[in-house]
Amino acid sequence: MKTIINPDKPDWVNVLKRPTQTVDDIEATVNQIFDDVARNGDQAISKYTEMFDGCTLNSIEVTTEETQKASALVSEELKKAIQLAKSNIESFHKAQKTERVFVETVKGVKCWQEKRAIQKVGLYIPGGTAPLFSTILMLVVPAQIAGCKEIVLCTPPNAKGNIANEILYTAQLCGVTKIIKVGGIQAIAGMTFGTETIPQVYKIFGPGNQFVTVAKQISTKFGVAIDMPAGPSELLVVADTSAHPAYVASDLLSQAEHGADSQVILVTDTLEFITNVQNEIEKQLEQLPRKDIAQNALKNSKAFMIESAEDALQLINSYAPEHLIIATRNDDFFVNNIQNAGSVFIGNFTPESAGDYASGTNHTLPTNGFSRAYSGVNLDSFTKAITFQKISEEGMLQIGKTIELMAEAEGLQAHKNAVTLRLNDLK
């Protein structure tokens, strides 16, 4: 990790840059694949699966038999762990349900809002070097609670054309309606346009690499909504000498091992603490099976020594991390004043891993600074709010003149006439 001491505020934009390619570098590839899938459907999907995943498939849809066989191979111990995590995630997301909002704004004018589920949702579950079956819990559980009717899951196959047993077990446990063996840009394109096998959906959820992130953004040009821009994972830890260097190092490495394009940041107030954490990183790194990936991510990572808590807070809000761990003597200062973060973890015994798996909060979060404006996935992500209104004769007499005056001032005579005709009948 590169150490930066009390950086000047004008330099923050540069020192806080993410290690990501620009959209321009990726967009041409995405557009090419989207065009091919839109025209050629499953044929194009198969071509790119062979090209990128190295396997040829007779069918890209997972069968019930495949799911049953895979589920039987998952250990009972892991099944119980997944079930406990599912229960916690259900508890937290069920608590997010809201009642109908009803207001009579003036006598005879009744307005209300109700949440209705998005009928067709598509979920992208990364596979590759780390099959993220935990993300299925994070996406399918709230989709089921919301009442989504069609839940399509796309995930890349391995070179043998198989999906990880844990992914298939978790998908059937949670109630996915269709599982498709397809990854990357082609998966997003398939759910955007629909193919002979892949249903077209109304909204796409799920994290992925930079190519998947750009593909999701491109899908919005074709009338498909997305959860948020969610690319390579990132973590910022703000800590002081009250924190355990070994814990901080383990948290930084837990995100670094996601991928070479992940980024981890340490913000603290002493050089000694930075040194202690870096020593722990070197020690723990040697024990990691994904050491090479973590080492590459650490090349993009930085440790900031900032003496002032106020300046540290300002830097954190400028960076707007996906995950924020707070482990200081004055946690409340940061907790009460943080404005931009996807999910916050407080204290020495709250690792980011807890939110990734089993505490109950959702781990699908905005990255790349988008936590300035986006929320992480929650129950509302799978619903839309529909407003209703009913106006009685008395209500029309109450607000009719107001509508007429405003419509006339905007030069919209037909709008005015729609009210005038009714008012004339009420005289």
Residue pLDDT, tens place only, 391-400: 999 999 999 9
Single out the catalytic residue among 280, 322, 352, 363.
Answer: 322
Nearest to 41 by CA among 180, 157, 208, 164: 180
The whole-angstrom separation of Cα 291 and Cα 276 is 20
Rg (CA), the chain: 25
Single out the catalytic residue among 93, 234, 323, 363.
Answer: 323
Confidence of residue 131 (pLDDT cuts 50, 70, 90): confident
SS3 283: helix
> Does 323 count as an annotated binding residue?
yes
pLDDT at 19 (0 to 100)? 79
Q: What are phi and psi of 151, to 5 degrees?
A: -125, 105
> CB neighbours (10 Å) of residue 413?
11
Q: What share of the chain is helix, strand, coil (3-state, %, to 5)?
A: 50, 15, 35
The whole-angstrom separation of Cα 120 and Cα 150 is 5
Q: Buried b vs exposed e over 285-318: b needs ≥16 C-beta within 10 Å?
A: beeeebeebbbebbebbbbbbbeebebbbbbbbe
CB 403 within 8 A of CB 416: yes
SS3 120: strand
pLDDT at 129 (0 to 100)? 66
pLDDT at 20 (0 to 100)? 66
The question of whether 104 is a catalytic residue gets the answer no
The whole-angstrom separation of Cα 223 and Cα 291 is 41
Helix ranges (DSSP H) in 220-319: 245-256, 271-285, 291-298, 309-319
The question of whether 322 is a catalytic residue gets the answer yes
Average pLDDT of span 218-222: 96
> Does 8 count as an annotated binding residue?
no
Residue 214 has pLDDT above 80, yes or no: yes
Residue 22 has pLDDT above 80, yes or no: no
Average pLDDT of span 296-317: 95
> Does 339 count as an annotated binding residue?
no
The whole-angstrom separation of Cα 322 and Cα 324 is 7
pLDDT tens per residue, range 76-121: 999 999 999 999 999 999 999 999 999 999 999 999 999 999 999 9
SS3 352: helix
The whole-angstrom separation of Cα 153 and Cα 1 is 37
Residue 309 has pLDDT above 70, yes or no: yes
Average pLDDT of span 275-279: 97
Q: What percent of the chain has pLDDT over 90?
A: 89
Average pLDDT of span 159-174: 95
Instruction: Tell me how long the chain is.
Output: 427
> Does 255 count as an annotated binding residue?
yes
> Does 43 count as an annotated binding residue?
no
The whole-angstrom separation of Cα 76 and Cα 111 is 51
Residue 305 has pLDDT above 60, yes or no: yes
The mean pLDDT of the chain is 95
CA 267 to chain centre: 24
Average pLDDT of span 196-209: 94
pTM of the predicted model, to two decimals? Answer: 0.92
pLDDT at 397 (0 to 100)? 97
Q: Which residues contact 414 (CB under 8 A, 6 or more apart)?
A: none
Residue 21 has pLDDT above 60, yes or no: no
One-letter amino acid identity for 103? V
Question: How many CA within 13 A on the CB side of residue 285?
Answer: 19
> Does 278 count as an annotated binding residue?
no
CB 4 within 8 A of CB 15: yes
> Does 217 count as an annotated binding residue?
no
Average pLDDT of span 18-36: 84
> Does 93 count as an annotated binding residue?
no
Domains of the chain in sequence order: 2-20+232-360 (3.40.50.1980), 23-228 (3.40.50.1980), 392-426 (1.20.5.1300)
